[in-house]
Amino acid sequence: MAERFDLIVFDWDGTLMDSAAAIVRAMQAAARDLGLAELPDERARYVIGLGLGDALRHALPDLDEAAYPRMVERYRHHYLSSDHELTLFEGVTEMIAALAERGHMLAVATGKSRVGLNRALGHSGLGAYFHATRCADECFSKPHPAMLEQLMEELGAAPERTLMIGDTTHDLQMAKNARTAGLAVSFGAHPVAALEVESPLACVHAPGELARWLLDNA
């Protein structure tokens, strides 16, 4: 079957790496460090995928502006102290290798910082597979289309030949804003009902199902 997409762009947390729960825990620990009320899981999970500053402002809109730098520092402390223990979802390495073998260009568009993504790429061993990456501290945060637009320009891919894959509505809205296709995974941060509102090509429910979908349809 002829390839449908030249460029496949992955979100990182909750899509390739099983890290959504760790992000929630780090946000909640940072809130406790500042003496704030317990941050509900649902609110913390909703902001996963946004740049860290935007995420914390959405999750804690009543926090004094002067306190956000301290919140960022405590979040990074808690998350980076254990990020080396996080693992890829089962079968992700094999899936990425198979897509690369078929000749797809591969990229990452993530709400992580550059330092955080570089750490994750190094710990996971996937760094060599990706032709380009964009992080939230390098351009506008999702759902702004800048990450995808920059990746397509750098790699010479057309919007109609580009697929964005993610576990949040932010990913799917970014794909719409960049005029690319979007594919949802439901095993990360956002619930199926919210993902389906964004009308992705499909919503897959397990890492193995994602691999099969891509090999059959991409």
Q: Is 83 a catalytic residue?
A: no
The answer to whether the CB of 175 falls within 8 A of the CB of 147 is no
Of 13, 18, 167, 171, the catalytic one is 13
- Mode of pairing for the β-strands spanning 162-166 and 105-110: unpaired
Of 11, 83, 167, 171, the catalytic one is 11
Distance CA 183, CA 195 (A): 9
Distance CA 87, CA 55 (A): 23
Q: Is 11 a catalytic residue?
A: yes
- Please state, in angstroms and as integers, the Cα–Cα distance from residue 173 to each residue in 84, 93, 130, 141, 198, following that order: 30, 26, 23, 12, 7
**How would DSSP label each residue in 57-85?**
HHH-TTS-GGGHHHHHHHHHHHHHTTGGG
The set of catalytic residues is 11, 13
